Structure 1
Amino acid sequence: MKKLLLIALFLSNFSFSLAQVERDTLLVGYTSAAPFIIQEGELLEGINVWLWKRVAEQLDLEYKMVPMDFSKMLDSLKQGNIDVSINPLTITGKRSKHIEFTHSFFASHSTVAVAETSSIQKIRSFLDAFLHINFLRGFLLLFFILLFFGTLIWLFEKRGNSEHFRPNLKGIWDGLWWSVVTVTTVGYGDKAPKTRMGKIAALGLMFSGLLFVSGLTASIASSLTVNQLSNNSDSFSAFKERKVGTVNSSSANDFLKVHFFKKISLYDSVISGLSDLKEEKIDAFIYDEPILQYRIKKDSTLNGLELLPIKFDVQFYAFGIVKNNIELEQKISQAILEIMETQEWGVVLAEYGLSEI
């Protein structure tokens, strides 16, 4: 009986030791987010990978890397299924309720990726604006004004000035020609009224034509300007009514919802979102600028995409730590601060095309 108790006690202590070893081995979740985390086959590199390895070496931490989707990674961290996330997580109040954050190691912002506009598309956009129904109505009204005064001047001039305003339909054409030349202020002088009523009709055309053409010109210029501004994406607000995409569970998604974006498509990764943008399934993809910039620059399949000069939603990146593990968070934060004070940190950022703000 005593032997059985001793064996049971031994097995219990052995199991406890194994569990203690497992708890001492940190589970570190990550998902691809170049240039911070770059995974090519079994090769794992990037800014955050380098930073984590330095932190783990400095603190003598045992850890196991666990790849997972971004949304699943956040859920696992909140539920305590992993201990650390080394992704560039944006520090937000909503996330801080469920996750501990280390000291921030990089500041960034969101931006907008769009498909480059070709010359043909620009010309088509201009023609669409210029041939708007309101423009056509205006030109049609102008034509009737010219035809009216042209016919009127012909009626007054056809007898006393038949050499300038010929009889029959040819005379109506002469009157229309004179109306156009007069309103456009070309003034060839090949046709001119000689009768009193003809000159009075000419004055009526000059004043009414001047006012109408000035108003029509202002309307055209204003409409073209409005159309250009509506197509000119110089702020993220220009995309509120368009189809935009972003990464699921990201801070960019929260930002878009708060600012009343209506047509948001969510993606599990940046690559899938940019691919849909390339195929024109969405009008824009909104996410963290350094990640979008690196991906578009490095991926040849994404040629034809560009980032707009728009910067909004300033973000501070940090590692995520399981809630209430304050001791681990403080140790890692201290190590991050010490590493950031070295010249090596600036060299690593420069290597991936980034710099500190």
Structure 2
Amino acid sequence: MKNTLVVVLLSLFSLTGSSQITTDTLLVGYTTAPPFVVQEGELLEGINIWLWEKTARDLNLNYKLVPMRFRDMLDALKNNEIDVSINPLTITSERNKSFEFTNSYYAAHSTIAISEATTLEKFIGFLKKFFNQDFLKGLFALLMIIFLFGLAGWYFERKENPEHFRSGKSGIWDGMWWSAVTLTTVGYGDKAPKTKMGKISALVLMFGGLLFISGLTASIASSLTVNQLSSNPEGFMAFKDRKVGTIANSGAMEYLNKHFFKDVEAYSGVIAGLQDLKEGKITAFIYDEPILKHRIQEDPDLSSLQILPVKFDVQFYAFGIASKHSELEKQISQHILTITETQEWEVVLNEFGLTDI
């Protein structure tokens, strides 16, 4: 009889404990992160808001939304001061030591936002790339060939061909002119050698010049391509030695630190970072692609910014749950998994212009 009474009491206690999960008022922290959490005045909307409201409604969860700064929200979740964070939190090993994560509901890449260069800046950049050391070396060699063969042509022709190669300084200029038009295969025909040595010089200049011009053109083209690739902002590692920005305590910040980025400015919000990017205080802002795209598309003041076609570091988003709510985490995780497998979830993503990877 006593054993039966103990079993009944334990069962009642267990039921009371499990029902407490659904009857207590949960403190749910959030901070704006469009398109996942969008706040316009007192109105809250976005993908995460929809997902949380449906989950809470289906599981009969009582909750109170608490607006917080991102860093404060993470600290509060870590210290069990709030119960849930419904922001798109990237699942990382470091965060997982401090609080629980639900099943992931969305995956996205990090990307890079830069300030689009003006037409004048693009032109100046092209000139800097074109007039590089290799180009100047080639130009100097070209001028030396023109000078030497022009001088040789004048020397061999000055006596027997004075009508084409005059004497003195004027004749030297005639030699330079003949050498230049011969080397470049223009061949005006206004000046031509008559002597044997003059014709031999012309042959060497024509065939040797043809090879030299071809090599010089290929060298300049190759140099421009290499310079373009090495300074191409579409490459992630091209920004390693530049000043970049990202969100403090974010997955992107952790990723940049792991890849030894030297000059990273940490921001509390995306807008502040993009504004500094627009003003030229940083060269790039690195963060989650859907959030950056939404901010730039929705804010006319940021229209001069662009997203580079580069993706890296897959981010898996989930809700954060305080470590004291392990049973709650299991319930929410299972329900999120159920929701994200429905057609309704695809419709919600499409409404905000998103597709899962």
* Cross-structure match for 2:118: 118
* Cross-structure match for 2:130: 130
Identical residues among aligned pairs (%): 62
* Cross-structure match for 1:287: 287
**Equivalent residue runs for 1:100-249 within 5 Å:** 100-206=100-206, 208-249=208-249
Alignment RMSD (CA, Å): 2.0
SS of 1:80 mapped into structure 2: coil
SS of 2:186 mapped into structure 1: coil
SS of 1:266 mapped into structure 2: strand
Deviation at 1:211, TM superposition (A): 4.4
In the alignment, structure 1 residue 354 sits paired with structure 2 residue 333: no
Deviation at 1:47, TM superposition (A): 1.0
In the alignment, structure 1 residue 264 sits paired with structure 2 residue 270: no
Deviation at 1:110, TM superposition (A): 0.8
CA distance in 2, matches of 1:149, 1:164: 15
SS of 2:287 mapped into structure 1: strand
273-282 or 110-119, which deviates more? 110-119
In the alignment, structure 1 residue 57 sits paired with structure 2 residue 61: no
Distance 1:27 1:219, change over 3 A: same
Q: Counterpart of 1:36 in structure 2: which amino acid? A: F
* 8 A contact 2:185–2:206 mirrored in 1: no
CA distance in 1, matches of 2:131, 2:337: 60
* 8 A contact 2:193–2:199 mirrored in 1: yes
CA distance in 2, matches of 1:57, 1:224: 60
SS of 2:246 mapped into structure 1: strand
Deviation at 1:187, TM superposition (A): 2.1
SS of 1:323 mapped into structure 2: coil
CA distance in 2, matches of 1:187, 1:217: 20
Q: Counterpart of 2:216 in structure 1: which amino acid? A: L
Q: Counterpart of 1:347 in structure 2: which amino acid? A: V
CA distance in 2, matches of 1:64, 1:224: 59
SS of 1:314 mapped into structure 2: strand
* 8 A contact 2:134–2:223 mirrored in 1: no
* Cross-structure match for 1:93: 93
In the alignment, structure 1 residue 45 sits paired with structure 2 residue 27: no
Superimposed CA distance per residue, residues 133-182 of structure 1 (whole angstroms, 9 cap, x where no aligned partner) = 44224313321321122122112211101111112222111100110111
CA distance in 2, matches of 1:134, 1:342: 60
Deviation at 1:205, TM superposition (A): 3.1
Deviation at 1:272, TM superposition (A): 0.6
* Cross-structure match for 1:32: 32
SS of 2:181 mapped into structure 1: helix
CA distance in 2, matches of 1:25, 1:334: 20
| TM-score for both structures, normalised by structure 2 | 0.89
CA distance in 2, matches of 1:149, 1:59: 90
SS of 1:127 mapped into structure 2: helix
CA distance in 2, matches of 1:149, 1:347: 75
* 8 A contact 2:77–2:84 mirrored in 1: yes
Q: Which runs of 5+ in 1 are unaligned?
A: 1-19
CA distance in 2, matches of 1:178, 1:340: 77
CA distance in 2, matches of 1:311, 1:356: 14
CA distance in 2, matches of 1:118, 1:151: 46
Superimposed CA distance per residue, residues 30-72 of structure 1 (whole angstroms, 9 cap, x where no aligned partner) = 1110010011222221111111111222222222222112122
CA distance in 1, matches of 2:63, 2:129: 60
| TM-score for both structures, normalised by structure 1 | 0.89
SS of 1:318 mapped into structure 2: strand
CA distance in 2, matches of 1:197, 1:165: 14
CA distance in 2, matches of 1:172, 1:217: 27
SS of 1:27 mapped into structure 2: strand
Distance 1:239 1:40, change over 3 A: same
* 8 A contact 2:37–2:44 mirrored in 1: yes
SS of 1:194 mapped into structure 2: coil
* Cross-structure match for 1:77: 77
SS of 1:170 mapped into structure 2: helix
Q: How many residues align?
A: 337
